[in-house]
Each structure stands twice: as structure tokens, then as C-alpha cells.
């Protein structure tokens, strides 16, 4: 299968590289890892879990014509990391709707996705399911991510607007 979307990740080296999903995907030539912000693509979507605007159907065209960029940092340092990246790039920030993590570090936690899960979920929502599965196939828990989130992923993927997608979260998760 030919990869359908150009995928990059900003690596801030805040966690163990042996457990790091972006590093592993980079080693397998499934994404381009960046330590230097100047080498990042100029156009694209940055997965930013704090931005407040969900990746929705209106964003699919941008994804298809640009790149997808994951932010690889520690959840413990997410606020500072996002601020640093936003100051140094002009990428369009989007967050994902709620999904459950399947990675061993945050298994079962809503919204605490690792970089590989976030990238794969974005691809899945934009109807690049095979590409999402290819990324996840690099991990022994990767298939479990789709199994665990199959119903919300399919519902989110069928949404016709971002507002509808945001509303769907309430059907799957107890959001206060």
C-alpha cells in the first residue's frame, strides 16, 4: 500500500526513546521525525490536544493537500510543549475527539493517546483507514487500538460536520 498522507512528528525528546512510538515509526520509514523546527513542513495539521478545535470533515481537504504533524512530547509537559511549538510553526492546530488509549503506558485512558495512536486516529477519521492500520501494525497493541475504539471511530468518520462529531463524543464517553 502506498502511504496516502505525508506524516511528520516533532520530537521534543522528553521521554524514553525505547518506548517512543514516533521514534519507532521513524525507524520504519513511516514518518519523518524532526528535532529542528526549521525543517518542518510549512503547511499542514498539527495534532494539538489543547487547541479546542476538533479535527473534523472540514479539515480533510487540508490534510490531503498538506501534511499531518504529530507532537511527540511527555503528557507531563504538554502545556509548555504546545506553547513552544505554536510559537515556532504556522501549522493549523487540531485536536482529536475522545478515544481510548491502547498503548501500555496509558491503556484505557480517554484522550491520553501516544503519538502513533493520534496520527492513526486522524488518518482513520479522514478515511485513510489502510494507512492508519499500517502505522498501528508496528506495535503489538496497535490492532487493539482500533478494536477498543471501533464504534466511536466509525461514528466520527461518518460525521458530516465538526459540530456533529463533537456531539457524538457524548454518546460514547461520559463527558462532564
Query: What confidence tens digit (pLDDT) does each residue in 38-82 have?
Result: 777 778 888 988 888 999 999 988 887 778 988 876 666 666 766
Task: For residue 76, give its domain range.
Answer: 6-172
22 contacts 115 by C-beta, under 8 angstroms? yes
Q: Which one is predicted more confidently, 134 or 173? A: 134
pLDDT of the residue at 176: 62
Residue 40 lies in a domain: yes
Domain tally, the chain: 1
Residue 142 lies in a domain: yes
pLDDT of the residue at 83: 72
Residue 10 lies in a domain: yes
Give yes or no for residue 3 having a pLDDT over 60: no
pLDDT tens for residues 94-148? 999 999 999 998 899 998 999 999 999 999 999 999 999 999 999 999 999 999 9
Residue 80 lies in a domain: yes
Instruction: Please name which of 164, 165, 116, 163 lies closest in space to residue 142, comparing C-alpha atoms.
Output: 116
Q: Please give the model's pTM, rounded to 2 decimal places.
A: 0.89
**Where on the phi/psi map is residue 54: left (φ > 0), alpha (ψ -120 to 50), or beta?**
beta
Give the C-alpha separation, 143 to 91, whole Å.
29
pLDDT of the residue at 80: 73
Residue 1 lies in a domain: no
Residue 56 lies in a domain: yes
Radius of gyration of the chain (CA): 15
Residue 47 lies in a domain: yes
Give the C-alpha separation, 100 to 108, whole Å.
5
- Mean pLDDT, residues 28-37: 86
Give the C-alpha separation, 33 to 54, whole Å.
24
Residue 103 lies in a domain: yes
Give the C-alpha separation, 40 to 61, whole Å.
20
Amino acid at each position: 500500500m502506498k502511504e496516502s498522507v505525508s506524516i511528520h512528528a516533532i520530537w521534543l525528546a522528553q521521554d524514553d526513546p525505547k518506548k517512543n512510538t514516533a521514534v519507532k515509526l521513524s525507524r520504519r520509514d513511516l514518518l519523518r521525525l524532526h528535532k529542528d523546527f526549521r525543517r518542518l513542513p510549512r503547511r499542514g495539521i498539527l495534532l494539538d490536544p489543547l487547541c479546542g478545535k476538533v479535527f473534523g470533515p472540514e479539515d480533510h481537504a487540508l490534510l490531503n493537500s498538506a501534511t499531518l504533524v504529530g507532537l511527540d512530547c511527555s503528557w507531563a509537559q504538554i502545556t509548555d510543549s504546545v506553547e513552544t511549538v505554536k510559537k515556532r510553526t504556522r501549522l493549523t492546530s487540531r485536536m482529536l475527539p475522545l478515544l481510548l488509549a491502547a498503548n501500555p503506558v496509558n491503556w484505557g485512558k480517554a484522550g491520553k493517546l501516544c503519538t502513533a495512536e493520534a496520527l492513526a486516529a486522524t488518518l482513520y477519521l479522514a478515511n485513510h483507514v489502510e494507512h492508519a492500520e499500517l502505522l498501528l501494525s508496528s506495535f503489538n497493541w496497535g490492532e487493539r487500538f482500533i478494536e477498543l475504539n471501533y464504534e466511536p471511530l466509525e461514528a466520527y468518520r461518518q460525521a458530516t460536520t465538526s459540530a456533529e462529531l463533537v456531539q457524538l463524543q457524548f454518546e460514547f464517553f461520559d463527558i462532564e
